[in-house]
Amino acid sequence: MATVGFVGLGIMGRPMLRNLLKAGHTVVAYGRNAGKLDAAVHDGAQRGASNRDVGARAEIVITMLPDGPEVEEVVLGANGILAGSKPGSLIVDMSSINPLVSQKIAAACAANGVEFLDAPVSGGEPKAIEGTLAIMVGGDEEVFKKAEPILRCMGSSVILTGPVGAGNTTKLANQIMVACNIAAMGEALTLATRCGLNPEVVVNAIKGGLAGSAVLSAKGPMLLARNFKPGFKIYLHQKDLRNALETAEANHVCMPITALVQQMLSSLIADGKGDLDHSAIATFVEAASHVEVKVPSA
């Protein structure tokens, strides 16, 4: 069993940490939010004094943070993880960030004899709780083999996708498809509702065909129940699409559909919906059409 550091104790991070504890690993946790850190310690983690302290006490440190600037600060800051890490240790960033930032952090780690993987995840809070996340990893194959047993405590699919940065590029591809799928679901069910159909019946009729998807199965019922309790927030998905468009621009790739959906998310954030679950992307079309998709009252 390894001693694993964990920084980032939010919606995704806390259940991921719990699964490491369940697997028998010693976990040293740290986060700025005192309440979340107290909760992690209550779950069984050891309390870290700082990011640097976590780096000094753990042979493998996992970060699960909102975006690239936070990862840079936590890993590369003056009191960051890297400042405390010993040569030969490993930092695994499981945040969803710009691939270029992953490569920058990896280079800084390599200069200090520390190994690095980018390993973003998909599946949201439910799969984080179950320990069945899809984990997309970028890095050296031998380093991946070292980290794989730890990652399998949190995910049912753990795949090395290429060198450092490939994990986050794969995650951007995932986020493009998820966001566009939710937006399309919103348009389809808004149309069905306006035409007088029960959208629940429509979902059940089409989910077994080509239009069926994990997105429809997971997010359709949330839309119908008007349940937008966040498993993955709209403002974070907007960040992912922004990173996708920046990566596309750097690589001369045209992504008009992604650009349109990213603008839809920006509008929802401006409307105060940024903290809602990304199933609420569908409400953009509802609002524009003055229709609410829901199961009719009996």
The pTM for the full model equals 0.92
Q: What is the pLDDT along the chain (298 residues), one digit of tens a residue?
A: 789 999 999 999 999 999 999 999 999 999 999 999 999 999 999 999 999 999 999 999 999 999 999 999 999 999 999 999 999 999 999 999 999 999 999 999 999 999 999 999 999 899 999 999 999 999 999 999 999 999 999 999 999 999 999 999 999 999 999 999 999 999 999 999 999 999 999 999 999 999 999 999 999 999 999 999 998 999 999 999 999 999 999 999 999 999 999 999 999 999 999 999 999 999 999 999 999 999 887 6
Integer Cα distance of 89 and 143 in angstroms: 10
Integer Cα distance of 161 and 157 in angstroms: 12
Structure tokens at 221: 């019922």
Beta strands in 139-238 (DSSP E): 155-162
Measured CA to CA in angstroms, residue 210 lies from 143, 241, 248 at distances of: 39, 25, 28
- Helix 199-206 vs helix 214-225: angle between axes, to the nearest 10 degrees? 170
The b/e string for 41-50 (b: 16+ C-beta within 10 A; e otherwise) is eebebbebeb
Integer Cα distance of 62 and 150 in angstroms: 10
Contact between 123 and 90 under an 8 Å Cβ cutoff? The reply is no
Contacts of 177 (CB under 8 A, 6+ apart): none
Integer Cα distance of 298 and 296 in angstroms: 6
265 CB-contact burial (10 Å; exposed 0-12 / middle 13-18 / buried 19+): buried
Return the pLDDT at 204. Answer: 96
Q: What are the chain's domains?
A: 3-164 (3.40.50.720), 169-289 (1.10.1040.10)
- Helix 34-43 vs helix 13-22: angle between axes, to the nearest 10 degrees? 20
Active site residues: 171
Integer Cα distance of 61 and 28 in angstroms: 9
DSSP letters, 132-166, are -EEEEEES-HHHHHHHHHHHTTTEEEEEEEESTTH
Strands 121-122 and 133-138: antiparallel
Return the pLDDT at 297. Answer: 77
Query: DSSP secondary-structure letter at 297?
Result: P
